[in-house]
Amino acid sequence: MTMWVFGYGSLLWNPGFEVAEQAVATLHGWHRSFCMSSIHHRGTEAHPGLVLALDAAAQGQCHGLALRVAPGTEEAALKELRARELVSSAYLEKTLPVALADGRDVTAVTYVIDRDHVQYVNLSLEEQAQVIATAVGGRGPNTDYLHNTARHLAELGIQDAELDWLSQRVEKLSA
């Protein structure tokens, strides 16, 4: 069985599994947002950082990458994804329809925020920038996560005005 994963944050530049194919894709009904407090990967319990999550938005859409898992490695990929993405149960694992840029429609394993989880936050862009500029976690500085994601989206030709603004604002705050 073919397995696809939808990447919209660190999965763009660090999938952690063998990718057989990738395609720019759109997920409808969701919005990419720094709405998850990170106490493991990009922050600590004492000084939480922020990571991207998909937040439900009726008219929203998120452009990212559909990553087809290499055949025969699906079980290992899912195990790795769950260990990484479900570390604190703030993400919910869903299988959602995504539209590939080449016209194909596939279903993809997708990690979305649980709005009822304690790590769900709703901060202004300025508040997000203030957090991201100083937080550091087990996988490194929160700034690296932001800048890597913004750079990879730009390389893919994907526009994200909020991430572009945040990247520029965090640069100024970190200078």
- Termini Cα distance of the chain: 48
What is the rounded radius of gyration, in angstroms, for the C-alpha atoms of the chain? 15
How long, in residues, is the chain?
Answer: 175
93 is catalytic: no
Pairing of strands 19-38, 49-69: antiparallel
Q: Give me the helices (H) in 40-88, please.
A: 74-85
User: Residue 175, Cα to own-chain centre: how many angstroms?
Assistant: 25
Count the Cβ atoms, other than its own, within 10 Å of residue 11.
24
Catalytic residue among 85, 127, 155, 171: 85
Listed in sequence order, the residues at least 6 apart from 69 whose beta carbon sits closer than 8 Å to its beta carbon are: 3, 4, 5, 17, 18, 19, 20, 77
Q: Give me the active site residues, please.
A: 85
